[in-house]
Amino acid sequence: MKLFRGFLTLFIIFCTLQWPSLAINSKKSYIVYLGGHVNGLEASEIRESHFEFLASILGSKERADEAIIYSYDKHFNGFSATLDEDAAAKLAEHPDVVLVFPNKGRRLHTTHSWDFLKLESNGIIDSSSLWKKARFGENIIIANLDTGVWPESKSFSDHGYGPIPSKWKGGCENETSVPCNKKLIGAKYFNKGYLATYGSMGMNSMNNARDHEGHGSHTLSTAGGNFVSGVSINEVGNGTAKGGSPRARVAAYKVCWPPTLLGGECTDADILKGFEAAIEDGVDVISVSLGGAPANYFDDAIAIASFHAVKKGISVVFSAGNDGPLPETVTNVAPWVLTVGASTIDREFQAFVELRSGLRLKGLSLSKPLPNNRLYPLISAANAKAENASAMNAMLCKEGSLDQKKVHGKILVCLRGDNGRVEKGKQALLAGAAGMILCNDKASGNEIIADPHLLPATHITYADGLRVYAYLNSTKEPLGFITHPSPVVNIKPAPSMAGFSSRGPNMITPEILKPDITAPGVNIIAAYTQDSKSDFPYNIESGTSMACPHVSGVVGLLKNVHPDWSPAAIKSAIMTTANSRDNEGHPMMDETKSTANPFSRGAGDICPNRAMNPGLVYDLSANDYLDFLCAIGYNQTMVQKVSGHRYECPRSNNSILDFNYPSITVHKLSGTVTVTRKLKNVGKPGIYGVRVRSPVGISVDVEPKVLRFQKKGEVQKFQLTVKAHGIKVIKDYVFGELAWSDGKHLVKSPIVVSVA
């Protein structure tokens, strides 16, 4: 599994290429999934049965004891174990075994954002805000499966909190190292799967949930961190940090450890154990900002684990991945989870480059300002190369490539690429530069990032970089300045889709649109580790990892306002009320400057206040998800085992087209198909009329055109007849929209059609 944060992208690509070819040793760790639990057995009996079962395969109890990593004895039935290939194959053929999957490694995928999402306005919280109505998420419990937590962060202080909710069954492991309190009520760690796969990697502090990375503290505080005032980075952007459910209780489940070149930092065996612990502990929301390559449901241990969580009424929220803008990259696509893409907000930390020629170029930065208000000499790093270095390495400001005598006291111009952005600044500082201008290379184009560099610095686009290099060429004594970084809000247009956010179509089930929803994931400030690697208690990060906990926080609020809603109802409310326009009223854009389609934005950008009162929802039960698995071709035997109870696949009329998803996708349309949906009234009685924007070349007819709801809870059916016109559809996919409205609510669904 990988954490879905932006700046790891290069590393991720590197490692993904390495992964398939490397064998670690002849024995590997596997997850043996036996399905849902049959009621009536004690956990100890189940554990015992796992050992006995494995002993029968391996030939002795001792071998089984040695092999088993975890026994999953609570909410899903199975175990993980270190096995040779023969034993794994034998298990896979056993009639009691649903599936055996290799213990895959995954990777991790960063607060003005709440103002932008209209939960507050310039720090003022209106009485109609979901925050007020939901008592800021009070007593909701949010779990985060990630790199752990920095427990001393103010975001997790329990000042002003009452007793821990009585339903809480969790707690903290190794409290001497990671002390919990009435806000941070859980901190557990799961490392056996990682150790079995990668070994200890020479680490000595693997027995607690402390976050040495920063990612886990960042995501957890974005979902449920306190209001913390006076947060700034390098004294830029002094503001109040807070999570989506700022009064929620939070629990960290550390399942990710330092990255390895062998594949990942989080393993399925540990993630599954984390899921099991979170379900057992009594959490309301599980937030997971990590993932691997998309995989079939019965090949994806965390899809199965999240099904068991959702079945218990827990909402599960995942990041979509950072492999955009390439299509077919979205991961974590199970229909029972919320899959979240990343968008921008309307704030930038701007620091301009000023050249003596009169040019003024916008850059982004969270760095310290230059000490003196005067022009500084500029030098291209290529001209500052050390004698033994190559011009290319110098241009990129790589370690050991710069000549201190040439750099000293000047603003160094470095080119993006190869080594990290902050690393370039470090080399510039070591060489004695007064400041740094970081210019994008062609590949990174317009994507610029406000980093907290170690020296005064700013980051400019490729086009502006060329202007700086041209100026350097044009004069013997180039001079320039970097202005004091400062936050600018109301940037337009916003939101727009982040380039890195993974895109559909969904490679596993093309009939389900993914991602589902978009939330802020670019330049997000939240809590961080205070380990030696960080100078700041709060840090700025980008990635779908940062978008995911925004949605988790909002789910926490909705659970307080609507405790009786299913995870599917909450998801529907979030999706059908989403915003697909930007703050100029235009359709939301992609960073490529084209209109963002549902494959990048899903239903659109989350709109918390509207999600509180959607009018109607597309509801789904755990049984509907089982029907879905039958509809996509899994057989009775398999699906029955997952269910853990008596279950039979529907004998007829079980078309995936009728799966009551809040978005509508018709894959490989030929001729005419009908799509059925059911809407449940969660508001006042009302009369809803329909409006359809048909995809180009497709006709969509809805019957009935009016739905009358006389009471809350009432369900009404409607059908869409989708037909391809005779004319040739030029594109692979075409997009439209379905909307029901009673004049007060607008219940919108994206329509996606591909033609056979």
CB of 325 to ligand NAG, least distance (A): 27
Binding track over 595-634 against ligand NAG, x by CB under 6 A? ----------------------------------------
What are the counts of helices (DSSP H) followed by strands (DSSP E) for the chain?
A: 20, 39
CA gap 465, 476 in Å, rounded: 18
CB-nearer residue toward ligand NAG: 174 or 181: 174
212 is catalytic: no
CA gap 338, 320 in Å, rounded: 9
Which tokens in the block code for residue 746? 């607008």
Host H or E run for residue 464: helix 462-474
Among 123, 179, 199, 230, binds ligand NAG (CB under 6 A): 230
Q: Which long-range contacts (CB under 8 A, 24 or more apart) does 225-232 make?
A: 225/153, 225/155, 225/156, 225/250, 225/526, 225/527, 226/154, 226/155, 226/156, 226/157, 226/159, 226/183, 228/154, 228/155, 228/527, 228/538, 231/111, 231/525, 231/537, 231/538, 232/538
* Residue with the CB atom nearest ligand NAG in the bound state: 400
Please tell me whether residue 637 binds ligand NAG under the rule CB under 6 A. Answer: yes
Please count the other Cβ atoms lying within 10 Å of the Cβ belonging to residue 57. 19
Catalytic residue among 146, 451, 627, 658: 146
CB of 638 to ligand NAG, least distance (A): 5
Query: Partners of 364 in the beta sheet?
Result: 350, 459
Please tell me whether residue 232 binds ligand NAG under the rule CB under 6 A. Answer: yes
CB-nearer residue toward ligand NAG: 128 or 229: 229
CB-nearer residue toward ligand NAG: 56 or 475: 475
CB of 379 to ligand NAG, least distance (A): 13
State which amino acid sits at residue 526: A
Of the ranges 382-390, 440-448, 449-457, 744-752, which one interacts with ligand NAG (CB under 6 A)? 382-390
Please tell me whether residue 388 binds ligand NAG under the rule CB under 6 A. Answer: yes
CA gap 167, 249 in Å, rounded: 12
Please tell me whether residue 386 binds ligand NAG under the rule CB under 6 A. Answer: yes
Torsion-angle region of 539 (φ positive above 0: left; ψ -120 to 50: alpha; else: beta): beta
Burial class for 359, CB neighbours closer than 10 Å (0-12, 13-18, 19+): middle
CB-nearer residue toward ligand NAG: 199 or 400: 400
Which tokens in the block code for residue 169? 């069954």
Name which of residues 652 to 711 contact ligand NAG (CB under 6 A).
652-653
Of the ranges 16-24, 109-117, 205-213, 615-623, which one interacts with ligand NAG (CB under 6 A)? 205-213
CB of 207 to ligand NAG, least distance (A): 3
Please tell me whether residue 635 binds ligand NAG under the rule CB under 6 A. Answer: yes
- What are the residues whose beta carbons fall under 8 Å from the beta carbon of 459, sequence distance 6 or more? 363, 364, 365, 416, 421, 438, 440, 448, 449, 450, 451
745 is catalytic: no
Among 207, 296, 623, 699, binds ligand NAG (CB under 6 A): 207
CB-nearer residue toward ligand NAG: 181 or 232: 232
- Binding residues for ligand NAG, total number by CB under 6 A: 23
Please tell me whether residue 357 binds ligand NAG under the rule CB under 6 A. Answer: no
Q: What is the DSSP string of 80-146?
A: EEEE-HHHHHHHHHSTT-SEEEE--EEEE---THHHHTTS-BTTB--TTSHHHHTGGGTT-EEEEEE
CB of 104 to ligand NAG, least distance (A): 19
CB-nearer residue toward ligand NAG: 254 or 550: 254
146 is catalytic: yes
Please tell me whether residue 59 binds ligand NAG under the rule CB under 6 A. Answer: no
Please tell me whether residue 235 binds ligand NAG under the rule CB under 6 A. Answer: yes
CB-nearer residue toward ligand NAG: 688 or 718: 718
Please tell me whether residue 372 binds ligand NAG under the rule CB under 6 A. Answer: no
426 phi and psi angles, rounded to 5 deg: -65, -45
CB of 298 to ligand NAG, least distance (A): 8
Of 211, 223, 203, which Cα lies nearest the Cα of 533? 211
CB of 676 to ligand NAG, least distance (A): 9
Helix (H, G, I), strand (E, B) or coil at 626: helix
CB-nearer residue toward ligand NAG: 232 or 486: 232
Please tell me whether residue 419 binds ligand NAG under the rule CB under 6 A. Answer: no
Name which of residues 281 to 340 contact ligand NAG (CB under 6 A).
none
Q: Are strands 315-319 and 285-288 parallel, antiparallel or unpaired?
A: parallel
Looking from the CA of 351 toward its CB, the CA atoms found within 13 Å total: 29
Among 125, 375, 466, 507, binds ligand NAG (CB under 6 A): 466
Query: How does DSSP classify residue 578?
Result: -
Catalytic residue among 155, 545, 572, 694: 545
Please tell me whether residue 179 binds ligand NAG under the rule CB under 6 A. Answer: no
Please tell me whether residue 174 binds ligand NAG under the rule CB under 6 A. Answer: yes
CA separation, residue 148 to residues 213, 214, 276, 725 (Å): 8, 8, 16, 54
Of the ranges 131-139, 227-235, 243-251, 365-373, which one interacts with ligand NAG (CB under 6 A)? 227-235
Looking from the CA of 224 toward its CB, the CA atoms found within 13 Å total: 33
Please tell me whether residue 25 binds ligand NAG under the rule CB under 6 A. Answer: no
Among 56, 238, 672, 721, binds ligand NAG (CB under 6 A): 238
Of 177, 515, 148, which Cα lies nearest the Cα of 329? 515
Catalytic residue among 215, 308, 453, 550: 215
Residue 270 sits at the vertex; the CA angle it makes with 264 and 273, to the nearest 5 degrees, is 155
Q: What is the DSSP string of 507-553?
A: SS-TTS-S--EEEE-SSEEEE---STT-S-SEEEE-SHHHHHHHHHH
Please tell me whether residue 122 binds ligand NAG under the rule CB under 6 A. Answer: no
CB-nearer residue toward ligand NAG: 286 or 450: 450
Residues that bind ligand NAG in the complex, under the rule CB under 6 A = 174, 177, 205, 207-208, 230, 232, 235, 238, 386, 388-389, 400-401, 466, 469-470, 473, 635, 637-638, 652-653
* Catalytic residue list: 146, 215, 545
